Amino acid sequence: QVQLVESGGGLVQTGGSLRLSCAPSGRTFGSMAWFRQAPGKEREFVAAIRWSDGNKVLANSVKGRFTISRDKAKNAVFLQMNSLNPEDTAIYSCAASAKSWIQSALSNYQNYDYWGQGTQVTVSS
């Protein structure tokens, strides 16, 4: 059974940094992504990466602050979050798809079949 094991969430002050990790068990995937959902808001795309060539997509709201990367040896995906602000407070979920999506499709949550349990990120002002 495929599991996406997430780690790295927590409480940080405005301007701080956190690094989220997602390690799928049992297999590798074609595309992996991070989505977030804040209380009372809809799920929002954050970042995605295509496993084969490392092609990346970032939401406009996090460009210049967040980066997504993968480590093939560890079979893991990372989300480095810098310059955090209270608007980044949300539950962050890792998602994976067996398909290597084209860039324009990487941000569509409907293209992901597997989801992690989510990790809370709280940014205090």
Give me the pLDDT at residue 104, please: 94
* Contact criterion met (CB below 8 Å) for 119 and 113: no
pLDDT for the residue 27: 85
- The token pair at 79 is 């989300």
pLDDT (tens place) for every residue of the chain, 125 residues total: 788 999 999 999 999 999 999 998 878 899 999 999 999 999 999 999 999 999 999 999 999 999 999 999 989 999 999 999 999 999 999 999 999 999 999 999 999 999 999 999 999 99
The pairs formed by 36-45 with CB atoms below 8 angstroms and a separation of 24 or more are 36/88, 36/90, 36/91, 36/92, 36/93, 36/121, 37/90, 37/91, 37/93, 37/118, 38/89, 38/90, 38/91, 41/90, 43/109, 44/90, 45/107, 45/108, 45/109
pLDDT at 26: 76
